[in-house]
């Protein structure tokens, strides 16, 4: 059975072919605008509601739900129909609510200190499974309005381009979310960034950079061996020019690895010509992780170095570390046997500006 968000509008019309034509709009708007379950669509005849409950049953089954930050952060673990497992994190802030969604079950990018990468790749998520995570978070956020989506959960979004873009179109066109409030995160899949530059929705692009010299980045993020920093910079420049959006670089601070004065100098020199904003991420504790995050004073010092060098940098507030929902921690509750290599998530479930 398709999940509630798996069908296109045309397919929904096919499903409701024997109903009056206005039912298609009712059900579509019920799912996307009002974010209702079929059982809650009381304007529908009972028989139709019952039928839809069956054929549009949720794709996501809640396996675990934890609250942290005094209820301001919620992390779900969802089981999918085939046993694959993903995680989704909702974060409330005084002025907004944001959900961090997964785009793949697992990930094949093998970044050196990512808990998701350690667990390997299971499969691509469908557009419907991605949209349904947002719908779940919207329902849970009530009465607050969820207005932002960050594609920074499990997986590399640009490695699942068509389905992720399908979700973006749906979130924007049918669920009313502004493209300005949608952020795609990538470790630097250059063909995907180039393709993004040709799209007509200017979403935010966040690149998980973490190293600004090829030798270190090759080690931390193997994708860099295919698309080294100069190639990545060209693709980012192309995206900034095409979209008019500001680029951001994510930088998880690791003591003695990428928090030295030379790292700040390389990062500032890389970010400045692109006008990129730098998000510094204090690293979260992760099982199997062989090195330490930079202590708070070191984080502040690194930021000062960057700003003194003319780069634009802020330190991200860590959310959800008490429930393994923070940067570097998705999937850490069910790791494969401990590895001696670094392990932490380089995409984050923390908030962007």
Q: Report the catalytic residues.
A: 87, 327
State CA 208 to chain mean position distance: 11
- Give least dist CB 186 to ligand SF4, A: 8
Q: Does 189 bind ligand SF4 (CB under 6 A)?
A: no
Could you give the C-alpha distances from 16 to 25, 109, 333, 351, in angstroms and in order?
A: 10, 41, 42, 39
d(CA 186, CA 276): 14
**Closer to ligand SF4 by Cβ: residue 27 or 111:** 111
Interface region with ligand SF4, contact rule CB under 6 A, candidates 17-25, 163-171, 259-267, 345-353: 345-353
Total binding residues toward ligand SF4, as defined by CB under 6 A = 15
Site for ligand SF4 in 88-107 (CB under 6 A): 107
- Give least dist CB 120 to ligand SF4, A: 10
- Give least dist CB 122 to ligand SF4, A: 12
Q: Does 346 bind ligand SF4 (CB under 6 A)?
A: yes
Q: Does 210 bind ligand SF4 (CB under 6 A)?
A: no
d(CA 19, CA 9): 15
Near ligand SF4 by CB under 6 A: residue from 155, 282, 288, 293: 155
3-state secondary structure at position 31: helix
Interface region with ligand SF4, contact rule CB under 6 A, candidates 240-248, 261-269, 305-313, 343-351: 343-351
**Closer to ligand SF4 by Cβ: residue 23 or 210:** 210
Length of the chain, please? 353
Per the structure block, which two tokens stand in for 5? Answer: 């968000």
User: ω before 143 within 30° of 0 (cis)?
Assistant: yes
- Give least dist CB 224 to ligand SF4, A: 11
**Closer to ligand SF4 by Cβ: residue 32 or 319:** 319
d(CA 2, CA 230): 43
Near ligand SF4 by CB under 6 A: residue from 31, 41, 84, 111: 111
Which residue is at the shortest CB distance from ligand SF4?
117
Q: Contact at 8 Å (CB) between 209 and 249?
A: yes
Q: Does 158 bind ligand SF4 (CB under 6 A)?
A: no
- Give least dist CB 108 to ligand SF4, A: 7
DSSP annotation string for 239-275 = HHHHH-PPEEEEEEEBTTTS-SHHHHHHHHHHHGGGT
Question: 74 has which bridge partners?
Answer: 67, 90
- Give least dist CB 114 to ligand SF4, A: 3
Q: Does 283 bind ligand SF4 (CB under 6 A)?
A: no
Q: Contact at 8 Å (CB) between 99 and 90?
A: yes
Near ligand SF4 by CB under 6 A: residue from 73, 88, 97, 116: 116
How many Cα neighbours within 13 Å face the side chain of 18? 3
Could you give the C-alpha distances from 294 to 45, 114, 163, 279, 280, in angstroms and in order?
A: 59, 17, 36, 14, 11
Q: Does 16 bind ligand SF4 (CB under 6 A)?
A: no
d(CA 353, CA 347): 15
**Closer to ligand SF4 by Cβ: residue 167 or 346:** 346
Near ligand SF4 by CB under 6 A: residue from 87, 129, 132, 156: 156
d(CA 264, CA 256): 12
- Give least dist CB 329 to ligand SF4, A: 11
Q: What residues line the site for ligand SF4 (CB under 6 A)?
A: 107, 109-111, 114, 116-117, 154-156, 187, 208, 345-347
């Amino acid at each position: 059975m398709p999940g509630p968000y798996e069908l296109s509008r045309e397919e929904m019309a096919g499903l409701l072919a024997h109903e009056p034509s206005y039912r298609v709009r009712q059900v579509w708007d019920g799912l996307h605008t009002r974010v209702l379950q079929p059982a809650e669509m009381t304007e529908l005849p009972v028989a139709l509601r019952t039928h839809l409950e069956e054929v549009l049953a949720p794709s996501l089954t809640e396996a675990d739900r934890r609250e942290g930050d005094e209820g301001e952060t919620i992390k779900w673990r969802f089981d999918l129909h085939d046993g694959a497992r993903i995680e989704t994190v909702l974060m409330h802030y005084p002025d907004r609510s944001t959900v961090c969604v997964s785009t793949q079950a697992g990930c094949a990018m093998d970044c050196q200190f990512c808990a998701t990468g350690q667990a390997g790749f299971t499969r691509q998520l469908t557009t419907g499974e991605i949209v349904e995570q947002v719908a779940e978070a919207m329902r849970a956020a009530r009465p607050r309005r969820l207005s932002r989506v960050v594609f920074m959960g499990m997986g590399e979004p640009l490695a699942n381009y068509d389905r992720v873009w399908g979700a973006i179109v749906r979130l924007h066109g049918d669920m009313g979310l502004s493209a300005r409030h949608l952020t795609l995160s990538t470790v630097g899949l250059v063909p995907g960034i180039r393709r993004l530059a040709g799209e007509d929705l200017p979403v935010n692009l966040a690149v998980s950079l973490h190293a600004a010299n090829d030798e270190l980045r090759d080690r931390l993020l193997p994708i860099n061996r295919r698309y080294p920093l100069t190639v990545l910079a060209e693709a980012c420049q192309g995206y900034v020019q095409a979209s008019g959006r500001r680029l951001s670089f994510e930088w998880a601070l690791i003591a003695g690895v990428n928090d030295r004065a030379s790292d700040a100098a390389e990062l500032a020199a890389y970010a400045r010509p692109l006008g990129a904003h730098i998000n510094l991420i204090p690293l979260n504790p992760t099982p199997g992780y062989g090195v330490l995050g930079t202590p708070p004073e070191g984080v502040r010092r690194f930021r000062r170095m960057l700003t003194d060098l003319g780069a634009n940098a802020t330190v991200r507030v860590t959310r959800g570390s008490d429930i393994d929902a923070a940067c570097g921690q998705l999937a850490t509750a069910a790791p494969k046997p401990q590895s001696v290599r670094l392990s932490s998530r380089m995409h984050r479930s923390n908030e962007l500006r």
